[in-house]
């Protein structure tokens, strides 16, 4: 397959979609715990990484490998490891390079679960310093000899701040620190962070990559370009001989196996077939979200937060980094929690559900759900207020979505 073909073609005809044992057009679902061998010598070689093969699903499985290879190809990495969830991918990637006494610099408007995880890591002695914006100046100022990673979301959920990857990567690299990007809300349709300078890319595949709302999962992709300093990144020192591959090799052969957060084979299959239509879905989702945002923006008493609106503070990145797209999430402020609830409750074509990236439009009141355990300051830094409604726009007909949301907003005003 030509390396320079575009996303949809690569998705369907890339190297990852070929070479299954019986010429299947999709990876067979190896829904097994273990793999049996004819003799002990063969299994010994597999355990010693002297021959290719699978032994036990927690340490490797062909259905997982097919999914990993597909996403790795789209992101332009040197290898990927898929995990039981997005949170498992984030925690595994961080613990792969951080130990007690180390520090992480993170953006402040992150997904609430990730912020909670950073608090949990404090109990393991890993301290996170939050930067209001992950720009060059703040990264350079906050990096200390203990910093092991800079972590940000490309399009933060739900605040919709955009990380300037080249700038953040340059600042991190100057001090010998890698940039880890959670690209869940962007997806490879919108941007491939490695091509802008990111070192490690993470997705919660539970969202847009799967798209059908039927499997929790996560993935870590290693860009393979970072020159690890094994004095600073002591957690990788045993893997020094692998040089730029040290992160991936430790992850694959050590930490991922031992933390035990593998993806279930059935989920890898569902995520694989979901990913086949990522390009089509994202095209439609972005078009719908843009149209809905513009329609809602015409209502005087609500404030819309969506990236393609010229008023958005990160609008400039739409063309420079996001391929002209604004993504599938939009938020709007309604004036009060009561009104937010009233609008949400009266929508006909949006499900009230705690997820994003589904085919179906989903809505939620983030302050009373996703941020219920966060302090007000953290919540507001994530762009969430008592009157915020978050919408994860789906692939329905945009005319129906617009009519439904405008009706709900207008009725909430008169009643």
Among 87, 143, 221, 384, binds ligand PLP (CB under 6 A): 87
- Judged by beta carbon, residue 111 or residue 226, the one nearer ligand PLP is 111
What is the smallest separation between the CB atom of 142 and ligand PLP, expressed in angstroms? Answer: 22
Q: Compute φ and ψ for 247, nearest 5 degrees.
A: -60, -50
Euclidean distance between CA atoms 345 and 207, whole angstroms:
23
Among 17, 77, 86, 265, binds ligand PLP (CB under 6 A): 86
Among 103, 153, 199, 290, binds ligand PLP (CB under 6 A): 153
Site string for ligand PLP, 185-204 (x = CB under 6 A): x------------------x
- Of the listed pieces 7-15, 83-91, 342-350, 380-388, which binds ligand PLP according to CB under 6 A? 83-91
Among 194, 216, 262, 285, binds ligand PLP (CB under 6 A): 216
Tell me if 163 sits within 8 A of 169, measured CB to CB. Answer: no
Euclidean distance between CA atoms 343 and 66, whole angstroms:
42
| DSSP 8-state symbol, 255 | I
Among 16, 161, 206, 305, binds ligand PLP (CB under 6 A): 206
Sheet harboring 103-107: ordered strands across?
A: 79-83, 218-222, 200-204, 179-182, 147-153, 103-107, 127-131
Residue 92 is a binding residue for ligand PLP (CB under 6 A) = no
Number of residues in contact with ligand PLP, rule: CB under 6 A? 16
Site residues (CB under 6 A) for ligand PLP, limited to 280-339: none
What is the smallest separation between the CB atom of 271 and ligand PLP, expressed in angstroms? Answer: 11
Question: For residue 150, how many C-alpha atoms fall within 13 Å in the half-sphere facing its CB?
Answer: 35
- Of the listed pieces 117-125, 178-186, 236-244, 381-389, which binds ligand PLP according to CB under 6 A? 178-186
Residue 118 is a binding residue for ligand PLP (CB under 6 A) = no
Residue 218 is a binding residue for ligand PLP (CB under 6 A) = yes
Residue 182 is a binding residue for ligand PLP (CB under 6 A) = yes
What is the smallest separation between the CB atom of 19 and ligand PLP, expressed in angstroms? Answer: 29
- Judged by beta carbon, residue 57 or residue 185, the one nearer ligand PLP is 185
Among 85, 96, 361, 392, binds ligand PLP (CB under 6 A): 85
What is the smallest separation between the CB atom of 87 and ligand PLP, expressed in angstroms? Answer: 4
Give the CA distances from residue 142 to residues 55, 182, 368, in Å, rounded to whole numbers and listed in that order.
44, 20, 32
Nearest alpha-carbon partner for 401 in 243, 292, 286, 297: 292
Q: Angle at the Cα of 80 (from 88 to 370), degrees rounded to 5?
A: 30
What is the smallest separation between the CB atom of 203 and ligand PLP, expressed in angstroms? Answer: 8
| DSSP 8-state symbol, 116 | H
**What is the length of the chain?**
415
Euclidean distance between CA atoms 161 and 134, whole angstroms:
10
Give the CA distances from residue 254 to residues 94, 110, 225, 385, in Å, rounded to whole numbers and listed in that order.
14, 28, 21, 42
Euclidean distance between CA atoms 78 and 134, whole angstroms:
26
Q: Measured in whole angstroms, how far is the alpha carbon of residue 98 from the centre of its chain?
A: 20
Give the CA distances from residue 357 to residues 153, 185, 275, 353, 380, in Å, rounded to whole numbers and listed in that order.
15, 8, 12, 11, 23
Tell me if 344 sits within 8 A of 361, measured CB to CB. Answer: no
Among 28, 113, 323, 335, binds ligand PLP (CB under 6 A): 113
Site string for ligand PLP, 51-80 (x = CB under 6 A): ------------------------------
Closest CB to ligand PLP: residue number: 86
Residue 157 is a binding residue for ligand PLP (CB under 6 A) = yes
Residues in touch with ligand PLP (CB under 6 A): 85-87, 111, 113-114, 153, 157, 182, 184-185, 204, 206, 216, 218, 356
């Amino acid at each position: 397959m030509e390396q320079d073909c575009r996303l949809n073609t690569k998705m369907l005809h890339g190297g990852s979609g070929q070479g299954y044992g019986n010429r299947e057009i999709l990876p067979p679902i190896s829904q097994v715990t273990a793999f049996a061998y004819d003799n002990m010598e063969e299994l010994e070689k597999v355990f010693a990484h002297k021959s290719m093969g699978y032994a036990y699903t927690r340490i490797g499985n062909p259905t997982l490998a097919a999914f990993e290879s597909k996403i790795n190809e789209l992101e332009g990495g040197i290898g990927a490891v898929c995990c039981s969830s997005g949170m498992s991918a984030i925690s595994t990637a961080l613990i792969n390079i951080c130990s007690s006494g180390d520090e992480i610099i993170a953006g402040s408007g992150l997904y609430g679960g990730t912020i909670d995880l950073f608090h949990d890591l404090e109990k393991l002695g890993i301290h996170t310093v939050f930067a209001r914006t992950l720009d060059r100046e703040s990264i350079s100022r906050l990096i200390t000899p203990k910093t092991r990673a800079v972590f940000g979301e490309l399009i933060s959920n739900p605040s919709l701040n955009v990380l300037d990857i080249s700038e953040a990567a340059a600042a991190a690299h100057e001090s010998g620190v890698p940039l880890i990007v959670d690209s869940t809300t962007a997806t490879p349709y919108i941007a491939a962070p490695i091509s802008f300078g990111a070192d490690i890319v993470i997705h919660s595949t539970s969202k847009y990559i799967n798209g059908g709302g039927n499997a929790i999962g996560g993935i870590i992709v290693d860009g393979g370009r970072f020159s690890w300093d094994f004095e600073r990144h002591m957690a990788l020192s045993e893997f020094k001989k692998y040089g730029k591959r040290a992160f991936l090799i430790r992850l694959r052969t050590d930490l991922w196996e031992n933390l035990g957060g593998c993806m279930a084979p059935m989920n890898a299959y569902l995520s694989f077939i979901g990913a086949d239509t990522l390009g089509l879905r994202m095209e439609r989702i972005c078009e719908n979200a843009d149209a809905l945002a513009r329609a809602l923006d015409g209502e005087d008493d609500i404030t819309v937060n969506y990236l393609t609106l010229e008023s958005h503070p990160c609008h400039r990145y739409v063309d420079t980094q996001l391929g002209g797209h604004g993504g599938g999430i939009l938020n709007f402020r309604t004036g009060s929690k009561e009104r937010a609830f009233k609008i949400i409750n009266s929508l006909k074509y949006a499900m009230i559900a705690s997820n994003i990236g589904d085919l179906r439009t989903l809505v939620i009141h983030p302050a009373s759900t996703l941020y219920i355990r966060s302090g007000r300051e953290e919540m507001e830094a994530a762009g969430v207020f008592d009157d915020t409604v978050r919408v994860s726009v789906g692939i329905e007909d945009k005319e129906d979505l617009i009519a439904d949301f405008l009706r709900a907003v207008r009725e909430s005003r008169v009643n």
